[in-house]
Amino acid sequence: MAMFSTAFTAATMTNKDKIKYLKRYINLDREIERKLEEVARLRSKLTRVTEVYSTEPRGGGTIYGKTEEILAKIVDLEKEIDADVDRLIEVRDSIKSIIEAVEDDRERLLLQYRYLDGKTFEWIAAEMNYSWRQIHRLHSRALTNLKMS
C-alpha cells in the first residue's frame, strides 16, 4: 500500500503537508467515535418504548414504526466502524513508525503527544514543562526533521 497519495512525495512535503498526514489518525479516531455515538443513539431508540393512549384504533406495529430501518442502519454503521477500525490500526502503525524514527527525544515525545494521543499544545507545554511558544518552535523543528519515506 502506498504511504502517500499521488499529491505528495516525500521530497516535496511541506510542514503543512506533514501535519495533514499526521492528523489522519486523530481525525479517523474522532470519526469512529462519532459513528459509535450514533449507533448508541439508534439503539436507545429501539429500547425506548412509551405508551400513547388514544381513542383512535391503531394497528400493532414496531417502535416508531421503523424498527427494521433502525436495525438496518445499525448494522450498516457497525460494518463501517469495523472497516474504519482496521484502517485506523494501519494509519496508527504508519504514523507511529515515522515518529519513532525521529532522533531527538523531545521532538519525538512532542509528536507522539500531538499526533498519536491528540493532546493540545497547551497540554503538551504543561506536561513537558515548556512555554507554549517553546513548544511551537520545537514542533516546527520536529516537523522539519521528520523524514517521511
The span from the CA of 13 to the CA of 127, in Å, is 29
Predicted pLDDT of residue 68 = 83
Q: Is the pTM value of this prediction over 0.75?
A: no
Q: What is the pLDDT of residue 69?
A: 86
Residue 137, C-alpha cell as written in the block: 518552535
* Sites in the chain below the pLDDT cut of 70: 1-11, 49-65
Residue 70: predicted pLDDT: 86
